[in-house]
Structure 1
């Protein structure tokens, strides 16, 4: 594999980890071909990933740093590049857009969400317990998917009747196996869902983040005093409003689904480590971090751009204007960062990962994702101590994506629930 010959990136997710290993071995940055016939530098060595995520000449703003950029020209990139949010902004623009939602994700506010998350988890466990204990059930669809999507939709006040269409569109955005036409259609459905939500909140505002963002868009500083809002009183443009909702609702759901799915699978395939966690429930934090290290919910995140020539090792230079595809999930799987990275080990020392990013674009929702997993995982295994996979782990079908990192279904058999669980079978 030559760093000068573009390698077609696997769009199916089937060979995600294997291809990352090959790209890492090939050089500090390797040219890959993306959908839409784009060529980018894939960066999958842990030290280079971390360096470029804080490099002063690496930009997130296509409008300023991608020569020849044409908005909405490439369908699958709309949600990742064409939106105008903190995901696609640098410097002062990034800080302004981050401030608009940052106050909703403080440690105090996230901790205050614990009772609501616990209630959601308990309700879903009750539903699982009502089914036949010996019949396979898709835990992803019935549990891990529903927890974070309900939490984030509640936070942003998405009406119940609007949730299915919105979440279906968000799911499709991660599918990199779609044709360009299908991808563009999925992105448009997602934007339409956000517009519908905005129209609803403009007509009937409530005590939710979308209503507050709409207020910031409609009224601006003069009529939007800080004491009445959880966000800074700075006006949002129409594009920024839609883009911020796309980012927060999408990122606030999909990443935690993956985390829970992979953690459950890891525990069911490592019974000795599950036994250790049962003896000491505080060890669930180690399960979560080891899962994030080995199975980062986001593998690649499109796109970044070189604002100047960036020389790397081995004679590789990322030229000004070149596209950069950072492999977030590669850092935790790099043997130079975590020895024997293929071994799942909750006792691992000096564990390091970048599952939630690094630098100014570090994920605002990381504490919320960790809290959701910290409630969902122990509750599940306490309620169903005989939980087991319904198929061999190697037969789990992967999500068709090089962006997200998850399975399509997680078939399990719950087994008999614990009689010691309060409310069991309720």
Structure 2
């Protein structure tokens, strides 16, 4: 067992929110497992380093099922319904099989022309006014993924702004009551959406999921459809919002890399992968709970529903895996990063996120010569909590 004192990450304040990497690096130097209190208030076992983190992401002795959580943790489930994100095998296997029939990489790639149209329209609005500056989060990073996933699922366009507000509160707020209110509002909204799609199906993914079945006739239940709607609408856009913002911010604060990409847009896919590695949109994944004691490099994490968090942000900054890991380099081989997770819970929407980021970043740079950050990077305000990582706003000028 570790004997080190409990580290209160919330007490580290804005410095940790803005730049958690030095803290993770100091912990990694002492070992892979540390007892912490997370900013949301619960105590957890934080795992740092690439090898240990990657192994635990695929370790099915850690459960994603909230019923396995120890009541002593005092944590409250945020997501709604039953989804892959909160299920273990064999339930997870069944759900993923049903959803994968509709959510295929080929179907996602067919969306690319439509993603380009949406991106062009947003950039028209951003650059068409009298000014030559904007908040990129509000102008492009946020509305593009939201528009894509809402169109994919057939969500009315007029509801997107309010849904975005609920979503951001549910996954980032440190106020438990605010998270609960946002989750309740989203639950009611999504239940109505599923009911409407069941009554009047359209040519969209949610309608397809309602009617899809496997060879044995198995279908998603009402609760599973609700969970799937939550997973796609929240996870399906929150991560991509911050992937786009983090990618642009990383490029604008590394002018040599920005120049390299401008001179050869053949590097765009690699630039997206390096962004995922260097400044990925998910700092730690959704909660995992112990089902039995786990020995990680000599430290025993007790069983009984203890909360375990893998610092994916640190895994991908581990110099044992990536030489000069704190350097942003769009020409490096970033393969093997865990920004989309690892194991059975690897992100189903990874192909779509890559498509959106690739199109958004390239189109922005092509449309906005001289694009620059319109504030001191130290003045940026970052998302709170340890799930989603990205700036709350990103002032740019061109």
Cα distance between partner residues in 1 of 2:41 and 2:383: 22
Question: Which ranges in structure 1 are unaligned for 5 or more consecutive residues?
Answer: 227-231, 415-426
Using the TM superposition, give the Cα deviation of residue 350 of structure 1 relative to its aligned residue in structure 2, in angstroms: 5.8
Question: Which ranges in structure 2 are unaligned for 5 or more consecutive residues?
Answer: none
Cα distance between partner residues in 1 of 2:107 and 2:281: 24
- 2:18 matched to which residue of 1? 14
- The alpha-carbon distance between structure 1 residues 27 and 176, as it changes in their structure 2 partners (threshold 3 A), is farther
- 2:382–2:391 contact (8 Å) kept in structure 1: yes
Say whether residues 1:301 and 2:285 are aligned partners: yes
Please, which of 277, 294, 316 is the counterpart of residue 299 of structure 2? 316
Please, which of 160, 164, 170 is the counterpart of residue 173 of structure 1? 170
Counterpart of 2:102 in 1: which secondary structure? helix
Output aligned runs, 1:220-369, within 5 Å: 233-313=217-297, 315-321=298-304, 322-349=306-333, 352-369=336-353
Cα distance between partner residues in 2 of 1:54 and 1:160: 37
Say whether residues 1:412 and 2:374 are aligned partners: no
Per-residue Cα deviation, 1:316-338 (whole angstroms, up to 9, x for no partner) = 10111222112222211112222
Counterpart of 1:400 in 2: which secondary structure? coil
- 2:40–2:174 contact (8 Å) kept in structure 1: no
Please, which of 206, 213, 218 is the counterpart of residue 210 of structure 1? 206
Size of the aligned set, in residue pairs, is: 392
Per-residue Cα deviation, 1:195-219 (whole angstroms, up to 9, x for no partner) = 2312332343211122233346xxx
- 1:142 matched to which residue of 2? 139
Cα distance between partner residues in 2 of 1:210 and 1:383: 34
TM-score, normalised with respect to structure 1 = 0.86
Say whether residues 1:186 and 2:207 are aligned partners: no
Cα distance between partner residues in 1 of 2:3 and 2:387: 21
More displaced 10-residue stretch of structure 1: 297-306 or 6-15: 6-15
Using the TM superposition, give the Cα deviation of residue 36 of structure 1 relative to its aligned residue in structure 2, in angstroms: 6.4
Cα distance between partner residues in 2 of 1:14 and 1:270: 17
Using the TM superposition, give the Cα deviation of residue 392 of structure 1 relative to its aligned residue in structure 2, in angstroms: 1.8
Cα distance between partner residues in 2 of 1:122 and 1:176: 32
Say whether residues 1:23 and 2:19 are aligned partners: no
Using the TM superposition, give the Cα deviation of residue 139 of structure 1 relative to its aligned residue in structure 2, in angstroms: 0.9
Please, which of 21, 34, 54 is the counterpart of residue 50 of structure 1? 54
- 1:423 matched to which residue of 2? none
Please, which of 69, 84, 88 is the counterpart of residue 66 of structure 1? 69
Counterpart of 1:302 in 2: which secondary structure? coil
Counterpart of 2:353 in 1: which secondary structure? helix
- 1:177–1:401 contact (8 Å) kept in structure 2: yes
Cα distance between partner residues in 1 of 2:172 and 2:3: 26
- The alpha-carbon distance between structure 1 residues 350 and 384, as it changes in their structure 2 partners (threshold 3 A), is closer
Counterpart of 1:174 in 2: which secondary structure? helix
Using the TM superposition, give the Cα deviation of residue 83 of structure 1 relative to its aligned residue in structure 2, in angstroms: 4.4
- 1:3–1:29 contact (8 Å) kept in structure 2: no
